[in-house]
Amino acid sequence: MSTPLRLSTVILPVRRWHEGGRAQWERAEELGLHAAYTYDHLAWRAFRDQPWFGALPTLTAAACATSRLRLGTLVTSPNFRHPVTLAKELISLDDISGGRVTLGIGAGGNGFDATTLLRGDEQPWTPRERADRFGEFVPLLDGLLREPAGLTSEGEFYAATEARNVPGCVQLPRLPFAVAATGPRGLRLAAQYGQAWVTTGDPKLYESGSAAESVDAVRAQMAGLGRACAESGRDVAELDKILLTGFTPEFNPDPTGGRGGPFASVDAFVDFAGSYAELGFTEIVIHAPVPDGSPAFPAAVPDEKRYAQIVTEGLAQLVG
């Protein structure tokens, strides 16, 4: 039986909790969204000098403000996280939420997360170095969450000595991982450890690619996931496939004003999302509106009215 298409959202952690922050998470549940995620960064892009709150405390507050909505990160990375401390925070969040947490996890990238903790003479990790750390980070975190009574491990980058996470996750054998990956190494990790796979498309196409080229690139990524699952002896159908929208060519603002983008109307969104649903995606994630006065963010739905229309009317058309 195929998984029905679900619609979820990302809420950037840019509002004070008592000045609209809480209301956004409550609204996401009220609209019937499947999940609400947030970014796990120290700072991010144009929002560097704007309010930006921590992901896990925000999700903890959201867990207390909601009762049905799934919650998670898109995504957490090794850039400033350690598996031992992260595992402790995750079992706490899973407990507080009553088992509603999904960990979106990826190798990380350039930017403030990659440089904030460095000494002056240190250089950010290269893509290969990030992949090396990610390859060790994921299995260690998996073990820490599966073996609450204690785990000892020593790798090249991370170590744990009798690390205990009693009583363990509410969700057994552990909370689900949604692994963000596009290359062979990351896709193998998704196949081995993921309950879901996440993509934003091919970033090389954002500036000058076409919608058709983007769909083709994602189709190739899905084929790679299928091969990785086959090599791991796993049925690719077991994994949810999540598209985090906002980073494919359709969202690149057209300076001529001729392209309205997927959020120009409900029909425009349905056409966009439908092309990815046909590839086999089970979850489409849209960015909630950001506050007035925030830096330009073409990935976000432009206003609350359109957001509600897309969530309700758009999803009804996609699954109808």
Reported as a single tens digit per residue, the pLDDT across 137-152 is: 999 999 999 999 999 9
Helix (H, G, I), strand (E, B) or coil at 11: coil
For residue 166, the Cα-to-chain-centroid distance in whole angstroms is: 26
Question: Is residue 38 over pLDDT 80?
Answer: yes
| Residue 2 pLDDT | 58
Cα angle, residue 177 at apex, residues 175 and 180 outer, rounded to 5°: 165
Could you tell me what percent of the chain has a pLDDT over 90?
93
Residue 183 domain-assigned (yes or no): yes
Q: How many domains is the chain partitioned into structurally?
A: 1
| Structure-token match 């402790």, residue found | 88
pLDDT greater than 90 at residue 153: yes
Q: Quick one: pLDDT band at residue 237, thresholds 50, 70, 90?
A: very high
The answer to whether residue 137 sits within a structural domain is: yes
Cα–Cα dist 156/6, whole Å: 39
Q: What is the pLDDT of residue 251?
A: 94
Q: Is the peptide bond before 173 cis (omega within 30 degrees of 0)?
A: yes
What's 61's domain CATH number? 3.20.20.30
- Of 128, 130, 136, the C-alpha closest to 111 is 130
Q: According to the model, what pLDDT value does residue 256 have?
A: 42
* pTM greater than 0.85: yes
Single-letter amino acid code for the residue at 60 = T
Contacts of 53 (CB under 8 A, 6+ apart): 13, 14, 16, 17, 21
Asked, for residue 132, whether it belongs to a domain, the answer is yes
What are the residue ranges of helices labelled H in 66-210?
83-96, 112-115, 127-146, 184-193
Quote the pLDDT of residue 255: 46
Containing H/E element for 317? Answer: helix 315-319
Angle at 196 between CA 188 and CA 111, to 5 degrees: 75
Structure confidence at residue 262 (pLDDT): 95
Residue 294's domain spans which residues?
Answer: 6-319
Tally of helices (H runs) and strands (E runs) in the chain: 10, 10
Q: What band does 71 get if pLDDT is binned at 50, 70 and 90?
A: very high
Task: Average the pLDDT over each of 68-72, 81-85, 113-117, 143-147 and give the range with the smallest value.
Answer: 113-117
Q: What percent of the chain clears pLDDT 70, i.e. is strictly above it?
A: 97
Q: Is residue 1 part of a domain?
A: no
Residue 1 has pLDDT above 80, yes or no: no
- The answer to whether 41 and 14 have CB atoms below 8 angstroms apart is no
Nearest to 21 by CA among 308, 305, 288, 316: 288
pLDDT tens figures, 256-311: 444 569 999 999 999 999 999 999 999 999 999 999 999 999 999 999 999 999 99
Residues across the chain = 320
Mean pLDDT value across residues 170-177? 98
Inside any domain, residue 36: yes
Residue 254 above 80 pLDDT? no
